[in-house]
Structure 1
Amino acid sequence: MRPTPFTSPAHLLRWLAVLTLSILLAACGGGGDSGGGSGGNSGNSGNSGNPSPISGGPTAQPIAFTAANTVPITVGPGAQNFVNIPNVTVTVCVPGTSTCQTINNIQLDTASYGLRLASDAAAQIIGALKINTSASGGQLAECTQFADGFVWGTVRTADVKIGGETASSVPIQVVGDLNASSVPATNCINGSNESTSADLGANGILGIGVSATDCGTACADAVLSNYYSCPSGTNCSLAGVPIANQVTNPVTKFAVDNNGVIVQLPPLQGPAPSVTGTLVFGIGTQSNNALTGVTAYKSDDTGTINGTYKGAAVATFFDTGSNGMFFTDSSLPLCRSTFTDFYCPSSTQSLSATVSGVNGATSGTVNFSVVNAQTLGANGSNFALPGLAGSYGGGPGLFDFGLPFFFGRHVYYAFASASATPYVGF
């Protein structure tokens, strides 16, 4: 799930597909095991209620989440019974104090940047977090646009603690804390206002993609900015915001282990109620995060690399914020009557795409499976679904390896900085 300006209109459409299947599955009954345990292998990596539709997939197991630079990832019912949503727990504090709130079911998103909290889920802490101000003195707010809608709310500063790591005094966004009447009528118009945890499908979004901030130099210019100055929370107008004051990927502000992350989920050959994996902070900074046995693909500053699918060039990215893999393939039938944004082949399809770094130095083949979405969703108590894929509807040109890609893999994201080139590795 990647917010603007790091995207195109076609790119945004995949979040609409995410919500479609998630809501339908929740209506089918929901429930299921939320996972847990003390090690990275504790999730259910088997089947529940359906025949195993995938064989021969990746088999890497996550490491235990016992070190200070690790935290568990749970794919389960989460906050709102959405499928294929990876969640972590985050503690948010008033800077430099012990006034804190621990919030679970924060969606882990490798294609956005920064922490965004649903105001209803963070009610215990947001009143104590001072709202940041613009250069003109108004309350600083942001409109972040996604496919089916947008999130609107203030920017505040907080200490962010994840596992044993702390990012001190980083800008975050609080979603839904401003009156709906304050939403800018000209630029913040993409779909509906996603102002609650029910709208988001999670209690917040933790963006840990390769960029350090959610907008960069573009938002320093008020004309191009996502940010607004709102005197007394109303009459909002576009505002340029220096990079240092923009919503920030908190991992980049850890004292150590701040140059990247590794997402690790267990192998999954069939639908399961839940699985538990591990998010590892840092690359090459500890004994548990070495870059070994991995091909690194140099990316642009949004985490996008080059790719080819069935002879067509596709801009390719790897996104835990998408609950399926999204790409265009007219040979794969879409589901009818339900899950209509998703593919429903009569049997499991074994497919592949080629990928290469933006500098052309490395290349490889990604094998993946596409499973009938109605088969995957037949049992409403399963929330971890391998092989889920759909069409983003924008024609060829984009390939989104969403959460099903991550089962059984260790996926590395190296952050862009003045001294480091971003890459995605697996």
Structure 2
Amino acid sequence: EQDLAINNFTTVNLPYVSVTLCDKTGNCQTIDHIVVDTGSYGLRVLASAVSSLNLPATTTLGGGALAECATFLGGFMWGGIHNATLKMAGETATDIPIELMTDPSLPSTAPAGCQSPGGDIGNLNGIGGNGLLGVGQFVEDQGSYYACVGGASGSCNATLVAASNQVSNPVAYFAADNNGVILQMPAISNYGQKSATGTLTFGIDTQANNSVAAYKILPADGLGNFTATIAGQVYSQSFIDSGSNYSFMNLSGYNTNGYGDYAPPAYTSLAGTLTSNNVLTSPAIPVQLGMINTIMLNFTSFTAFNDIIDPGSPGTADLGMPFFYGQSIAFLIYGKQVAEGVGPFYGFH
């Protein structure tokens, strides 16, 4: 569904949740249309979405306001670091660093060192919602941090920051279900559908509802990557990312349409395998990726599609939201251990 804040443009394959944020006085606010992103780490919210909360800026040792430039495949997000308590589905992450984008206490223009080909996407249109919830396989986001002085008309300089002040995966701060997540989405038509409702489950093997004993396990390397072999082409730096609304990889033998999407003459199923880069004894996991010419799809009425692939980066298959439909995918955080292995790993069921 869309709320009034974002119904003036089309969103496609964006998995939304609502989060509740609280300040230190106990005042809380629930923010809807937060995009679940398994390819990043930490919560980033539009400052305008938490206007009722008192979330003082985190300061550096020199007294400046701490800010971050977080880079993504599609651009960058610039914002101030503030602490808040996050609540979701009975879980609580107390007093964790989050990023407030379009923070009025910072210069609106990011520093020269904070640049990405896609530009600033830390806004309603760039995100497609009110924020981004990064729940991937690592804890700290390892972004570029700045100390800012002089408020909105001031300046910012790069600075080092302790891990405790970095924007971090909130799941790691839950009391018990803190070692990963499972994102489950239903199967949908190859021609899309109006919407799709799935489940984000916290924890791996910590409760009856998050066991991965029946899952196929794919160990990831120290960057969260694996090798995908799709239609005979090998991509050794591949990952699974619910924050990518399409899948992205360079495919030979297929033309693109006017929108830049691959455009086979008819619906096509691409066979492939996913293999571990670092655990050579781990069995290959077979996959099938659907691909369709997007001129055949109804973007006016539908928002969920399982078969859109666009060109990507060399050597990389970014298996985005289309890959999630019809299965449950588990993400175990780096260094966490369960009966099925040590994180980071992916699990499929």
- For the residue of structure 2 that corresponds to 1:89, the secondary structure is strand
Relative distance call for 1:204 and 1:80 in structure 2 (3 A) is farther
Alignment partner of 1:192: what SS? coil
Query: What residue is the counterpart of 2:333 in the other structure?
Result: 415
Distance, in Å, in 2 between the alignment partners of 1:111 and 1:274 is: 22
CA contact (8 A) 1:229 1:238 kept: yes
**Where does residue 68 of structure 2 map in the other structure?**
142
TM-score, normalised on structure 1? Answer: 0.74
1:342-361 to structure 2, matched below 5 A, reads: 342-358=261-277, 359-361=279-281
What is the alpha-carbon distance in structure 1 between the residues aligned to residue 237 and residue 169 of structure 2? 23
5+ unaligned residues in a row in structure 1: which ranges? 1-32, 36-76, 216-224
Judged with a 3 Å threshold, the aligned counterparts in structure 2 of structure 1 residues 404 and 173 are, in CA distance, closer, same or farther, namely: same
TM-superposed deviation, 1:198 = 2.5
**1:293 counterpart (202, 207, 214):** 214
% identical equivalent positions: 35
Give the match for residue 167 of structure 1: 93
Match of 2:134 in 1: 207
Structure 2: state its 5+ residue gaps. none
Corresponding position of 1:102: 30
Equivalent position amino acid for 1:155 in 2:
I
Rounded Cα–Cα distance in structure 1 between residues aligned with 2:74 and 2:139: 25
Deviations 1:20-67 (A, max 9, x none): xxxxxxxxxxxxx569xxxxxxxxxxxxxxxxxxxxxxxxxxxxxxxx
* 2:120 equivalent in structure 1: 193
Give the residue type in structure 2 aligned to 1:254.
F
What amino acid maps onto 2:123 in structure 1?
T
Corresponding letter in the other structure for 2:100: V
Mapped partners of 1:379, 1:237: distance in 2: 43
Give the structure 2 partner of residue 84 of structure 1: 13
1:367 counterpart letter in structure 2: Q
Amino acid at match of 1:346: P
Given that 2:137 and 2:343 are in contact with CA atoms closer than 8 Å, whether structure 1 keeps it comes out as: no
- Superposed, 1:20-169 pairs within 5 Å as 80-95=9-24, 97-125=25-53, 128-169=54-95
Say which structure, 1 or 2, has more relative contact order (CA 8 Å, 6+ apart).
Answer: 1
> Are residues 1:273 and 2:194 paired?
yes
2:247 to 325, 330, 354: 325
The amino acid across from 2:175 in the alignment is A
Write the deviation string for residues 168-224 of structure 1: whole angstroms up to 9, x where unpaired. 011000001145455212344544323421232110000000001101xxxxxxxxx
> What SS does structure 2 have at the residue aligned with 1:343?
coil
Matched ranges for 1:228-377 at <5 A = 228-233=146-151, 234-269=154-189, 270-309=191-230, 310-336=232-258, 339-340=259-260, 342-358=261-277, 359-362=279-282, 363-376=284-297
Question: Which structure dedicates a bigger proportion of its chain to strand?
Answer: 2
Deviation at 1:404, TM superposition (A): 0.8
- Tell whether the 8 Å contact from 2:218 to 2:285 is kept in structure 1 after alignment: no
| Contact 2:57–2:81 under 8 Å retained in 1 | yes
Change (3 A) 1:103 1:352: same
Alpha-carbon distance, 1:144 to partner: 1.1
Which residue matches 1:176?
Answer: 102
Q: Give TM-score, length-normalised by structure 2.
A: 0.90
Contact 2:85 2:96 in 1 (8 A): yes
Distance 2:245 2:304 in 1: 9
Amino acid at match of 1:403: M
In 2, Cα distance between the equivalents of 1:78 and 1:285?
A: 38
Distance 2:116 2:211 in 1: 44
Distance 2:223 2:30 in 1: 29
- Cα RMSD between the aligned structures? 2.0
